[in-house]
Chains A and B, each alone.
Chain A
């Protein structure tokens, strides 16, 4: 079968075992007993109780309005200038609110969204290939392995079309056909072409569009930007979010910013693994500080691992680079059959000594199996000792992605046209020319589906704290489809939040808070004392060395495959590493200047706590779903096995204090517009 699969998905064609319902658990497991306290169930009370297709229209209508004259008096803090943050800041600025926008980079335009390559989905149905809002909704819920909230996903599909209109009007130079109309491609193995793209730089072009809209509002005086500012604490007053404490990363000044409402659009926390495809500065601090102040963290263990990244070349490695998954359309993945061949020149290994393991195990999908399956299979062959490339810490972690057959078929020119700069990028990083030697790839952490819990209004469990983009949990369930994160970020920022936030702001004007309010002083002082602590330990180990070690623990035990024993071990390891960190970290320099070690120390400190919670969440979820694979829950063929009877819920975790175990609140997932099915790729 032909399958233009760039990203992971559950193609519609596979129906063999779909009818058989999910497996069920024999016996009552509570792997995480002792690691958490059960809490009250959680509900989304904001999605109107009407048929799914009417929910958003109804909610928009019900959400109260704010008189234009009053908007100027209402203030909004937005942390983050990626697609989710910049779009919201621009839109709310246009509406006339007073917006303060924060980012840790030196310009809003550099947020991590800039690095997204492949494209953005929208149910425009320009190709007349049967796409529709309902199909995009269906694909996304199914792709998320039935672990997302259907109301939110439906709305995402609904507003997706407006995004494209908006971006085109802003001057986003999407790819076009000869007739001047927009081009689409099929992405994520879905059977329709609904992905809009700007060569391999879609994220960049979309972000520049949002950034320009944001800067236009800066000139108009509605938005004020605070670059090189890092949010280090959330300020809550009487249970409501009322501001943030931020550090001016140049002068070191600890600043208080107060507002009527706070929005976190602070991105994902994949860097808890140390090595990931995320930018160096991506962190969980903004979200984690909010979590500690009462915002629940939902499904933190749901991590997406991308199969086609450039492998680690040595212990100096600082980050990993994604190679577009489209490469799997033409490249064949293999490793040597015999360990003895692993350090040989691949070109000298004869055909019969190669193991095209994906084609062997999954004959119908072959190299195009979904991301998680491809990733796990690569790990397995490397664990068996059949990996290729340089040995790092005694193991070769890489598999070949071989284009020789495709080069023969399409010619060098055909491949160049199709894969453009990818071959160059690979050569620049590895020093090897993939036209001559097969590429080497290995999976890497790429995206987190987990994040702060939000209701249909994108409001967290702290009133007045809204969360958008990758920082929230809502739309992708246990696995995200390719080209859907960009869609979600812009949907949230341009078209959802501006409507839902006004319902909250309609309660204004709010009580005036001053900088000497006890809650504000407390937040500021706690930030200062944390910073003082990091600088005063004066131990022996660098922040990076702790981060790397934490990353290794997470990757080993909370990565592609998770087991009860492994996770319990990881929790112990993380706890003692964290302990050691607070007693033995070495942060030089002062608090009053730009100090990158100090910045990293704060981020790593929060990663420890997050990492532990991820392990607890993974321990609790004794099922395999999407990007979460529990060794104990697989079919005889080693495929992921869901347990809908036990785990069709969102796990929302409440912080219970430094010395207490977290509280688990469950939001049951109810599907009215779609039927739950188990997937299969054999």
Chain B
């Protein structure tokens, strides 16, 4: 396949960026999207042009490091991560636009790399269960109904990639946050801190500059782990309850 690639390049956070156009030929449909960029980078290096910076690590769809806007879609046309997208999803002769996540709360670091540390700071504000090492009761002392465990697991599969934020016209991180609130809220172990958790996480979310949720659903559509929209209802419900409890 031959492709025309329009790629965002930006030397660092404080400099202005611009789209650059590259032609790439002989792309194999079996390549992953990031391997296609690797090949481009080898060619740039050869020519003496600095390779394009982009993030990836596991390349298996689980670490959440990768993430690109591809033709305007977070992670591209399939329901998967950028690293698991393959070139067979594109056509010979196609022009592909590649940009970093766009969100005020995710400033660009360089080229296609953004700073998502805001997610860590949201977790710091309550995305955990307080239990010091060694103080845990025997694992079987608290049975958890299988369906609750299953739902907790399903939403705990969030990889923290940030596609939900990038896809959202408001730049809201409600899906990410709702996934964590629901994961911990479904489990008996998560109950004692349920109220404070939601209140503090939401406060941090707003403080970081993420926008509010207006129920558009673009987040779920972009989420590679198919986190359902109802985690946001759960988030709102928990928040209302917490406020009712005087938080």
A177 close to B88 (CB less than 8 A): no
Residues of A within 8 A of B117 (CB): 106-107, 227
Q: 5 extra interchain contacts, Cβ-Cβ under 8 A, other than A112-B57, A167-B139, A204-B159?
A: A107-B120, A169-B137, A318-B32, A428-B80, A428-B86
Q: Mark A193-220, 1 if CB is under 8 A from B, else 0.
A: 0000011010011001001110110110
Q: Is the CB of B42 within 8 A of A542?
A: yes
By beta carbon, the residue of chain B nearest A168 is B139
Q: A322: nearest residue on chain B (CB-CB)?
A: B60
Beta-carbon nearest neighbor of B31 in chain A: A316
Stretch at the interface among A444-452, A513-521, A592-600, A668-676: A592-600
Instruction: Chain B residues near A108: list those with CB within 8 A.
Output: 120
* A586 vs B49: C-alpha distance when bound (angstroms): 11
A440 at the binding interface (Cβ < 8 Å): no
B47 CB → nearest A CB, Å: 10
Is there an interface contact between A430 and B30, defined as CB atoms closer than 8 Å?
yes
Is B1 at the interface (CB under 8 A from chain A)?
Answer: no
Please tell me if A404 contacts chain B, counting CB pairs below 8 Å: no
Surface stretch bound by B, among A145-153, A158-166, A408-416, A474-482 = A158-166
Smallest CB–CB gap between B136 and chain A, Å? 4
1/0 contact string of B49-67 vs chain A (CB within 8 Å): 1110101111111111100
Q: Does A526 contact B (CB under 8 A)?
A: no
Tell me the nearest residue of chain A to B38, going by C-beta.
A318
Which of the 9-residue segments A21-29, A178-186, A575-583 touches chain B? A178-186
Contact of B138 (CB < 8 Å), options: A165, A205, A588:
A165
Is there an interface contact between B124 and A218, defined as CB atoms closer than 8 Å? yes
B115 & A106 in contact (Cβ 8 Å cutoff): yes
5 A-B Cβ contacts within 8 A? A107-B119, A110-B63, A115-B63, A179-B143, A429-B84
Contact between A176 and B144, CB atoms less than 8 A apart: yes
Contacts A171-B129, A279-B59, A313-B30; is A544 near B140 (CB within 8 Å)? no
Q: Contacts A216-B128, A227-B117: A279 and B160 contacting too (C-beta < 8 A)? A: no
Contacts of A114 in B (CB 8 A): 58, 62-64
The verdict on A318 contacting B34 (CB below 8 Å), with A162-B134, A596-B51 known, is yes
Given the known interface contacts A112-B57, A212-B123, the answer about A204 and B62 at a Cβ–Cβ threshold of 8 Å is: yes
Out of B28, B62, B133, B160, name the residue touching A316 (CB < 8 Å). Answer: B28
Contact between B42 and A171, CB atoms less than 8 A apart: no
Interface code B101-119, partner A: CB below 8 Å = 1, 0 otherwise? 0000000011001011101
B146 in contact with A431 (CB, 8 Å)? no
Residues from chain A with Cβ under 8 Å of B80 in the complex? 428
Most A-side CB within 10 Å, residue of B11, B65, B117, B145: B65
Question: B8 in the interface, Cβ–Cβ < 8 Å?
Answer: no
Say yes or no: is A405 at the interface (Cβ < 8 Å to chain B).
Answer: no
Residues of A within 8 A of B62 (CB): 114-115, 201, 204
**Contact of B165 with A by CB under 8 A:** no
> Is A181 touching B140 in the complex (CB atoms < 8 A)?
yes
Chain B residues within an 8 Å CB radius of A430: 30
Quick one: CB contact mask for A87-123 with B, threshold 8 Å, 1 for yes? 1001100100000000001111110101100000000
- Are the CB atoms of A107 and B133 closer together than 8 Å? no
- A170:B153 contact, CB within 8 angstroms: no
Give complex CA distance A90, B183 in Å. 21
Q: Is A225 an interface residue (CB 8 A)?
A: yes
Q: Is the CB of B133 within 8 A of A494?
A: yes
Q: Assess whether A557 is interfacial by the CB under 8 Å rule.
A: no
Residues of A within 8 A of B48 (CB): 588
Judge whether A168 and B189 touch: CB under 8 Å. Answer: yes
Q: Give Cα A182–Cα B153 distance, bound, in whole angstroms.
A: 13
Q: Is the CB of B143 within 8 A of A180?
A: yes
Interfacial chain A residues near B49, Cβ < 8 Å: 588
The reply to whether A176 and B133 contact each other, CB–CB distance below 8 Å, is no
- Nearest residue (CB) in B for A170 is B129
Can you list, as one digit per residue, whether each of A138-158 has a CB less than 8 Å from chain B (1) or not (0)?
000000000000000000000
Residue of A nearest to B142 (CB): A168
For B129, the chain A residues whose CB sits under 8 A away are: 169-171, 212
A170-B129, A216-B130, A219-B125 known; A316+B84 contact, CB < 8 A: no
Q: Is the pair B131, A181 in contact by a Cβ cutoff of 8 Å?
A: no
A649 at interface (Cβ–Cβ under 8 A)? no
**Contact residues, B165-204 vs A (CB, 8 A):** 183-184, 187, 189-190
Contact of B128 among A107, A167, A180, A213 (CB under 8 A): A213
Q: Which residues of A contact B (CB under 8 A)?
A: 87, 90-91, 94, 105-110, 112, 114-115, 124, 126, 162, 164-171, 173-182, 198-199, 201, 204-205, 208, 211-213, 215-216, 218-219, 225, 227, 250, 279-281, 313-314, 316-319, 321, 390, 425, 428-431, 494-495, 498, 542, 544-545, 586, 588-589, 593-594, 596-597
When C-beta atoms are compared, the residue in chain B nearest to A108 turns out to be: B120
Judging by beta carbons under 8 Å apart, are A171 and B133 in contact?
no
Q: Contact check, A171 vs B152: say whether CB atoms are below 8 A apart.
A: yes
Nearest CB on A from B224, distance (A): 11
Shortest beta-carbon distance from A120 to chain B in Å: 12
A316 to B129, CA, bound (A): 43
Decide: A593 near B146, CB < 8 A? Known: A165-B138, A173-B156, A316-B28: no
Contacts of B214 in A (CB 8 A): none
B209 within 8 A of A: no
Given the known A-B contacts A107-B117, A180-B143, are A171 and B63 also in contact in the complex, defined by CB atoms under 8 Å?
Answer: no
Q: State the CA gap A208–B53 with chains docked (Å).
A: 27
Q: Which residues of B contact A225 (CB under 8 A)?
A: 120
Which one, B58, B88, B130, B142, contacts A115 given CB within 8 A?
A: B58
Cβ-defined contact, A174 with B190, below 8 A: no
Say if the beta carbon of B149 comes within 8 Å of chain A: yes
Given contacts A124-B139, A227-B117, A429-B84, whether A279 and B130 have CB atoms under 8 Å apart is no
Chain A residue, CB-CB nearest to B59: A319
Does B35 lie at the interface of the complex (its beta carbon under 8 Å from any beta carbon of A)? yes
User: B58 near A279 (CB under 8 angstroms)?
Assistant: yes
Which residues of A sit under 8 angstroms from B31, Cβ to Cβ? 313-314, 316
Tell me the minimal C-beta distance from B220 to chain A in angstroms. Answer: 18
Residue B211 at the chain A interface, CB threshold 8 Å: no
Partner of A317, one of B35, B137, B138: B35
A175 CA to B131 CA, complexed, in Å: 21
Contacts of B53 in A (CB 8 A): 594, 596
Known: A170-B129, A182-B139, A215-B128. A109 touches B86 (CB 8 A): no
B243 is an interface residue with CB less than 8 A from chain A: no
Q: Do B184 and A106 have beta carbons less than 8 Å apart?
A: no
Q: Are B55 and A314 in contact (CB under 8 A)?
A: no
Q: Does B94 touch A at the CB level, under 8 Å?
A: no
Tell me the residues in window 69-95 of chain B with beta carbons closer than 8 Å to chain A beta carbons: 78, 80, 84, 86, 88
